[in-house]
A and B are shown apart, each in its own frame.
Chain A
Amino acid sequence: MRLVMERRRETPISLMLISPMIAVALTMISAAIMFALLGKNPVAALQTYFLDPLSDSWGLQEVAVKATPLVLIAVGLAVCYRAKVWNIGAEGQFLFGAMAGGYIAIITHGSTQGPGLLPVMLLAGAVAGACFAVIPALLRTHFGANEILSSLMLVYVAELLLDYLVRGPWRDPAGFNMPNSVVFEAEATLPLLMAGGRINIGTPIMIAVVFGFMLLMGRTLKGFEIRLVGEAPRAARFAGFSETRLIITVFMISGALAGLAGVLEAAGTVKQLQPGISPGYGFTAIIVAFLGRLNPIGCLFAGIFIAITFIGGENAQIMLRMPLDATRVLQGLLLFFVLVCDSMLLYRFRLLRGAAA
């Protein structure tokens, strides 16, 4: 008896829509089992995780704030992954963006700044992220070095650079020797959408980016080029597209988005530079990108879903004394089921009699 995989001739649209829902359903079931094993009421736990965050204004705002960096980074990563370019270093590009934007806030600290400061910071963040991301791109195009490993190594370099800067040259002299920069002044922080709320302009920026990239990927020639290079590289060359230029382009796009997310986080939520400015957004965003099936609107939904699990997890920790790590299990399970369902989309499985050849 052996299991044989055959590529499907055509992927039915019905399957493509149902498959993520099946994955979510399977995750909920597994999560319920896990909750039960931990001695908690499964229904109450599911409710705390998935429904409570959406039940009041505060919860919704928290979800939006959490989802913003995840979705921004994931949209950029999805562009890369569509072209089969594996950028694993979004975390480092995020930090670089935060550092660049933060630098501008720090050097203008105390002097009159004006309304032009914030756009300059955001631009600096995006550009810095793009420049940092171009390093693994060039290493691949000129030396053929595997971009998974090179971009991953650069994450550590970025983390250590940030650590050095906030403990050394950029440390707040009045900060009691804590490894923080100065707290950004009002003009260097993101304005809130509603007074007393939590959502800042980062969230509408994220929404605009999602729709912008939907347009890019679905309706422009560049989007077609990106998809084609990942789908059929030889056909892409026949279409006249240059693989080298494209690798650099997609790395820069995702680096810019990650950098933008970084400066938005630094200027919006944290309002200063510190070593722990990212709770692993760059890595979680990879999960979001896959969950979102590598398209922008999918990343939006996936990012919101993951943000809900984060907020829900925090609630569950307080109210049900659930370990915070259960959230990670949930997220891991979701990605696992999405991968399983994706395989079912691409291949048909059959059990055949007889030994393997």
Chain B
Amino acid sequence: MTLFEAIILTIITASTPLLIAAIGELVVERAGVLNLGVEGMMVVGAAAGIAAAISTGSSGFGVLVAVLAGMALSLVFAALVLGLAANQVAAGLALALLGLGLSGVIGAPFVGVQRAGIGKIEVPLVSEILVIGPVLFHQDPFVYASIALVIAVWWFLRKSRAGLVLRAVGENHAAAHALGYPVRRIRLLAILFGGGCAGLAGAYMSLVLTPFWTSGMTAGRGWIALAIVVFASWLPFRAMIGAYLFGALTILQLHAQSAGVPLPSQFLAALPYLITILVLVLIMRERRGGAAGPASLGVPFVPDR
């Protein structure tokens, strides 16, 4: 395998958990809810996933448990934010903290326990093609799942009626409520989906990326997923570009020094965040004074009747 191929593969592995978490959060935000607790849901998924996988010996079961763990935590978030109309910033941070803590407690007995990671799927013949073969057709199931998720979310938001209703709820929850749509139920489903994706992303980290558990192994990827959603202007395919951009920059800045790039590696690492800020400003200008992203984002919804 050439260095180039190796770099591409590491970029894919770095970007996949970002993409899965980001696409979930994208749906949540399109429905008008800002979930700052993604990091907590990811890491709790990672811990629960590996705990289940080691205890039962089944990776598949581990993945399922990870998704459920992410959903369970996001259910608590939904209870606070939808049921009690709590401040979304505070609630998200509470969940991030809870998730980080719970993950450490769940994962403590399993620290350092190694297990075989989930293997890659190899599509016969096609994966023999030089260069793109291994890249496109010899990947672990999560990578394929992440692409499938992006396409599914794109289709859902753009082409389906349910997706249209979700976008309307995120845009103007008062008008949606007046038209008779169940705003809180829709947001609940979106939050659960986001939690499940975060859990899945966490499972990737503990079952594939580094198949053992260390405390805090998500290392801030949940926060980066939030940045990717903004960078993507809340559009699914742009989220894919954003995730791969962030992933690529993370990997490349490790190699940049040895490759003789004159820029400090930290500057390269900071680029995605600076670009995200730029994007935030530019979308505002595009809308000429409208809202950036879903207009109801972060606003608590209290139905008057």
Contact = CB atoms under 8 A, between A and B. Distances in A.
Interface of A: 3, 5, 7, 34, 38, 86, 88, 139, 143-146, 148-150, 152-154, 156-157, 160-161, 163-164, 167-168, 283, 286-287, 290, 323-333, 335-336, 339-340, 342-343, 347, 356-357
8 closest residue pairs by CB, A with B: A325-B104, A328-B101, A332-B98, A329-B101, A332-B97, A343-B84, A335-B94, A164-B266
B104 A157 contact: no
Contact of B86 (A88, A139, A152, A342): A342
Contacts of B95: 332, 336
B60 interface: no
Interface string B87-106: 10111011111111111110
A260 B225 CA distance: 30
Contact of B264 (A88, A164, A342): A164
B124 to A, nearest CB: 42
B34 A148 contact: yes
Given A38-B105, A88-B36, A335-B94, 14 more contacts: A5-B85, A139-B281, A145-B277, A146-B293, A148-B89, A152-B227, A154-B273, A156-B270, A323-B104, A330-B101, A332-B95, A332-B96, A332-B98, A339-B91
Q: Which of B85, B86, B274, B298 has the most CB of A within 10 A?
A: B86
A286 B226 CA distance: 18
30 contacts: A5-B302, A86-B89, A139-B280, A143-B281, A143-B284, A144-B284, A145-B281, A145-B284, A153-B273, A156-B223, A160-B269, A164-B267, A283-B93, A287-B93, A323-B108, A325-B101, A326-B101, A328-B98, A332-B95, A332-B96, A332-B97, A332-B101, A335-B93, A336-B94, A339-B87, A339-B94, A340-B80, A340-B84, A340-B86, A347-B302
Contact of A144 (B84, B98, B292): B292
A357 B305 CA distance: 7
B102 A157 contact: no
Contact of A325 (B80, B103, B277, B297): B103
Contacts of A7: 302
Contacts, number: 149
Contacts of B96: 332
A339 B284 contact: no
A86 B269 CA distance: 25
Contacts of A331: 97, 101
Given A152-B226, A160-B269, A287-B97, A343 B86 contact: yes
A157 B289 contact: no
Contacts of B226: 149, 152
B277 A339 contact: no
Interface string B12-50: 000000000000000000000010100010000000000
Nearest to A37: B105
Interface residues of B, number: 55
A336 B80 CA distance: 8
A86 B93 CA distance: 13
Contacts of A157: 270, 273-274
A335 B86 contact: no
B105 A336 contact: no
Contact of B98 (A168, A283, A336, A356): A336
Contact of A150 (B103, B104, B277, B298): B277
A325 B94 contact: no
Contacts of B98: 328-329, 332-333, 336
B139 interface: no
